[in-house]
Amino acid sequence: MNPLKPIGRAISAVGRLFGRMWRWIFYGILNGRRRLARRKWADYVVFELDGELTERASSQPWYYSLLPFAAPPLTIEGISSALRAIAADPDVYGVLFLVRGAQLSLAQSQSLAALFARFRAWDIRENGPNRAIEKDVVVHLESAGNASYIMAVAADRILMPPLADWNVLGLHTEPTFLADTLAKVGAQMDVVRIAPWKTAYDRLSRTEMSEADREQTNRLLDGWFEAMVTAISQGRVLGENQVRSLIDQAPLSAPDALDKTLIDGLAYEDELPALLGIADREARLQPYPRARRYLKRKPRPTSTHSLGVISLSGTILTGKSRQFPASLPILGDSTIGSATVQQTVRAAAEDESLDAVVLHVDSGGGSALASDLIWRELSLLARKKPLVAYLGDVAASGGYYIALPAHKIICQPATLTGSIGVITAKLITSEAYHKAAANRFSLRRGKNADIYADSRPWRGEQRDKIEEAIETTYQAFKDRVVAGRQLSPERLDELAGGRVWTGSQALENGLVDELGDFAVAVERACQLAGLPNDGSVAVRTVEFDKPRMPLSAKALGLPDSSLSIPDLAEFAFAVLGRDWSALLGSDRIWLLADGLPRIRW
């Protein structure tokens, strides 16, 4: 035994004691100042939802902060932390959400709805069941769309301006197929896939929707629509058939929505202080950054334990993670680099202060090789520590693949997941060059040196090789699922083949363990690690400060996920020159769930 360890534990214990004493003193000073500023207390704390909302804050390159339009987006994690602080103040009457141009997905609205319920539970726990003030949640909607209204029905009161519309119209998707369009310019997409439900690239390789694509899209729409109907039915205490009828009558004016008990009142924003008035005075409404200065502070129990969080968002590729200054086709605005993730996971495994890890995945997949490399690192981590996966809006194909090592997989009812299948493609441009009177000549050394060239489709032995590679990858994918989810191969065949599922459907089929939000994933990680579930366990993002063995030459580069100045130059030249191979590297076989229904929530 290391003789320095007892000394280290003693020093840590003394440090924690002094830390608790300091918090008591500091909070006493703040609460004393608060009592002297009673007129500045907020009756309702205001949050504005306008624009993008993310689950957790992502690390940004330093130069993003210099851009006037690059303010960090509001996060569900940040709102949760704020509501927890507000719940502890016995003098706050509630919270008000001003919903303007919020860009919410259905899964995010479900997370916010769960957060509202958790806020009420925090209020009871902090202030007792016989508290003088029962905090309520008020949502003011400038316009009620699908996702924003699903969030709002979990509130205590829904208000709208008199001329607003209730636009809960249901679900609509209208995919466009571009095979004929590409043919007009002399291009075509050559696709090799496993199973008809793997519909990535259908929009580029087909002229119309396949029966498998139609069946899958209808199944997803059914799942999402039922989730919407159930939420509205429960939130507004209406029968499900009545809810369906009301959706069919939409759009409705705000007065009609009020008459049909879909909302609770009509009010302009300036009328809210009077409408939410306390006794004979108007309510004091203050945004959270100002209101937090005068919230009552309570020392919370602290634990020596902590959980690590690894957030992975974007397309999965080999190499290091990247963030792009603009969204790209397929890649989006960020990539999950296997080299970066390997180092991050190793850091989590070696960090003795982390008792468990939560993996947050929001990805439609990508490279098969990169997904497998990440799967391997997470499998090793899961042997050392409890690992819980939380699936965001989309965790399908490669995104689902990397979640398989987790001891528990949590997702929202509206999450898209599954897509157990493999696909690859290349764009054939020889005819386009011919139409442009550009003559190319092919010279090669090696029989298959041109296997990925865009001059001609795969034929003969080369196509056989591509199909063999895809079949091998597909079998490996299925083996991972069988081992991770304890499904029989026969049962898996009914769920695989590229089929995509909503979270609710995935739970019914055994692909995930539980429905819930990120907080539920944290609770399950605490349970698996034998830690208290009272909020005392610190939750922190896992970062790595040095390369950890085994290393590759590429892993010796920048240890963070930022896009460096050389990366920016590479990005610019690749986009301007249409050289996507500079960004995609040698990743050719994809665990990709692209081409999913595009829904306006």
Q: What is the pTM of this model?
A: 0.85
Q: Provide the pLDDT confidence category of residue 335 given band limits of 50, 70 and 90.
A: confident
Tokens of 213: 């694509």
At residue 451, the 3 state secondary structure works out as coil
Q: Provide the pLDDT confidence category of residue 4 given band limits of 50, 70 and 90.
A: low
pLDDT of residue 554: 44
pLDDT of residue 216: 92
Burial of 284 (C-beta count, 10 Å sphere; 0-12/13-18/19+): middle
Look over the chain and give the mean of its residue pLDDT values, rounded to a whole number.
Answer: 85
Which amino acid is located at 515 in the chain?
A: L
Average pLDDT over residues 77-91: 93
Looking at the predicted structure, is the pLDDT value of residue 204 above 80? yes
pLDDT of residue 444: 85
Where do the H-state alpha helices sit in 88-201?
Answer: 106-127, 146-152, 179-184
Peptide bond into 251 cis (omega under 30): yes
pLDDT of residue 577: 45
pLDDT in tens, 87-112: 999 999 999 999 998 889 999 999 99
Q: Provide the pLDDT confidence category of residue 15 given band limits of 50, 70 and 90.
A: low
Distance CA 108, CA 503 (A): 13
Please, what's the b/e burial string for 551-575 (b: 16 or more CB within 10 A of its CB; e: otherwise)?
Answer: eeeebebebbbbbeeebeebbeebe
Who wins on pLDDT, 126 or 32?
126
In sequence order, the β-bridge partners of residue 140 are 98, 159
Element (H, E) at 592: strand 590-592
Residue positions counted in the chain: 601
At residue 525, the 3 state secondary structure works out as helix
Q: Do 308 and 351 form a contact (C-beta atoms < 8 A)?
A: yes
Say which range, 111-115, 171-175, 436-440, 471-475, has the weakest mean pLDDT.
436-440
Say which range, 6-15, 257-266, 275-284, 299-308, has the weakest mean pLDDT.
6-15
Who wins on pLDDT, 299 or 37?
299
Find where tokens 């001059």 sit: 455
- Give the residue among 363, 412, 352 at the shortest CA–CA distance from 228: 412
Q: What angle do CA 519, 115, 261 make, to 5 degrees?
A: 150
Q: Provide the phi-psi class of 201: left if phi over 0, else alpha when psi is between -120 and 50, else beta.
A: left
Distance CA 393, CA 396 (A): 10
Q: Do 34 and 296 form a contact (C-beta atoms < 8 A)?
A: yes
Tokens of 75: 């996060």
Distance CA 32, CA 29 (A): 5
At residue 311, the 3 state secondary structure works out as strand
Q: How many angstroms separate the Cα of 12 from the Cα of each of 6, 303, 400?
A: 10, 12, 40
- Give the residue among 112, 58, 75 at the shortest CA–CA distance from 313: 58
Please, what's the b/e burial string for 502-514 (b: 16 or more CB within 10 A of its CB; e: otherwise)?
Answer: bbbbbbebebbbe
Q: Provide the pLDDT confidence category of residue 327 given band limits of 50, 70 and 90.
A: low
Who wins on pLDDT, 195 or 514?
514
Tokens of 345: 């996971």
Q: How many angstroms separate the Cα of 84 from the Cα of each of 89, 126, 534?
A: 9, 10, 12
Work out the number of other CB atoms within 10 angstroms of the CB of residue 146: 24
Q: Do 357 and 309 form a contact (C-beta atoms < 8 A)?
A: yes
Work out the number of other CB atoms within 10 angstroms of the CB of residue 489: 11
Looking at the predicted structure, is the pLDDT value of residue 586 above 90? no
Say which range, 68-82, 226-240, 545-559, has the weakest mean pLDDT.
545-559
Distance CA 317, CA 336 (A): 6
Distance CA 58, CA 74 (A): 11
Looking at the predicted structure, is the pLDDT value of residue 356 above 90? yes
Tokens of 63: 């130069």
Say which range, 27-41, 319-333, 394-408, 560-574, has the weakest mean pLDDT.
560-574
pLDDT of residue 498: 92
Q: Provide the pLDDT confidence category of residue 573 given band limits of 50, 70 and 90.
A: very low
Looking at the predicted structure, is the pLDDT value of residue 28 above 80? no
Element (H, E) at 94: strand 94-103
Looking at the predicted structure, is the pLDDT value of residue 324 above 80? no
Find where tokens 């909607």 sit: 141
pLDDT in tens, 207-228: 999 999 999 999 999 999 999 9
- Give the residue among 228, 593, 124, 255 at the shortest CA–CA distance from 397: 593
Looking at the predicted structure, is the pLDDT value of residue 55 above 70? yes
pLDDT in tens, 466-507: 999 999 999 999 999 999 999 999 999 999 999 999 999 999
Distance CA 37, CA 237 (A): 41
Phi, psi of 307 (to 5 degrees): -110, 145
pLDDT of residue 580: 46
Looking at the predicted structure, is the pLDDT value of residue 26 above 70? no
Burial of 371 (C-beta count, 10 Å sphere; 0-12/13-18/19+): buried
pLDDT in tens, 121-141: 999 998 888 888 899 999 999
pLDDT of residue 556: 41
